[in-house]
Structure 1
Amino acid sequence: DPKTNELVECNGDVKEETRQVLKNMDAVLKKAGATASNVVRCTVFLDDLSNFNAVNEVYGEYFKDSPVAPSRSCVQAAALPKNVKVEIDCIAVL
């Protein structure tokens, strides 16, 4: 959570965790005066690539109103901080 800088528990639900990650990203973008439409590049890190379809579904919902979907890479990481399932790094043009 960007307000508290604490991890929001999602009880192992990868879709819910992805929604929270994107909600956090949205808050940071908003603070910079941007929206999802300003995002040009994302790197998605997953603890297990078998979660790709679930993450992709939520990711697609988030960027559905963007005029152009940002370019994206998705990789499996051996370990993510605090045992999360999803981490998303983005670049936005302001």
Structure 2
Amino acid sequence: MREIRTNRTPSPVGPYSQAVEVNGFIFLSGQIGIDPESGKLREGFKAQVEQIFKNLDAILEEAGISRENIVKVNIYLTDITKFKELNEIYEEYFKDVKVKPARVTVGVKELPLGAEVEIEVTAVKK
């Protein structure tokens, strides 16, 4: 097992790794829309989702892989009525990926730091 860490994303807000590699699988911890430069949560749903995807890309790159390697996405929304808006941003993020990952989207009461969305992914090295 090896830890994957980059300083191009915010440091974890708790005692956990940004990502861990085990037997060719990369498990990325859930990301909320924190801007790594300011250390603050981005304002607004769309801005948070876009920041999350930037942060995920940075971690994937540090692991030596890309969006193409994502096999599963778990999404947590504090407002399930944002599902359609989420799908529009999500579709753009994965537009060049041939095989779209499996996914689950769950409505939750609240997330750390008042975030509106949290996304975690599992990827595999090909």
TM-score by length of 1: 0.90
For structure 2, the residue ranges without an aligned partner over 5 or more in a row are: 1-6, 14-33, 36-40
Structure with the larger RCO, 1 or 2 (CA within 8 Å, 6+ apart)? 1
Runs of 4+ more than 4 Å apart: none
SS at match of 1:72: strand
1:89 matched to which residue of 2?
Answer: 120
1:56-75 superposed Cα distances (whole Å, 9 cap, x missing partner): 11111111111110010000
How many residue pairs align between the two structures?
A: 93
1:4-62 superposed Cα distances (whole Å, 9 cap, x missing partner): 42833322x21111000011000000000010000000000001101111111111111
SS at match of 1:91: strand
For structure 1, the residue ranges without an aligned partner over 5 or more in a row are: none
Letter in 1 for 2:46: K
Greater strand share, structure number: 2
Greater helix share, structure number: 1
- The structure that has the greater radius of gyration is 2
C-alpha distance in 2, partners of 1:2/1:46? 24
Percent of pairs identical after alignment? 35
Selected match of 1:50 from 67, 74, 81: 81
Letter in 2 for 1:10: R
Does the C-alpha gap of structure 1 residues 87 and 2 become closer, same or farther in structure 2, counting only changes over 3 Å? farther
Selected match of 1:66 from 89, 94, 97: 97
TM-score by length of 2: 0.69
Q: CA RMSD in A?
A: 1.6
Q: In 1, are the aligned partners of 2:78 and 2:107 still within 8 Å (CA)? A: yes
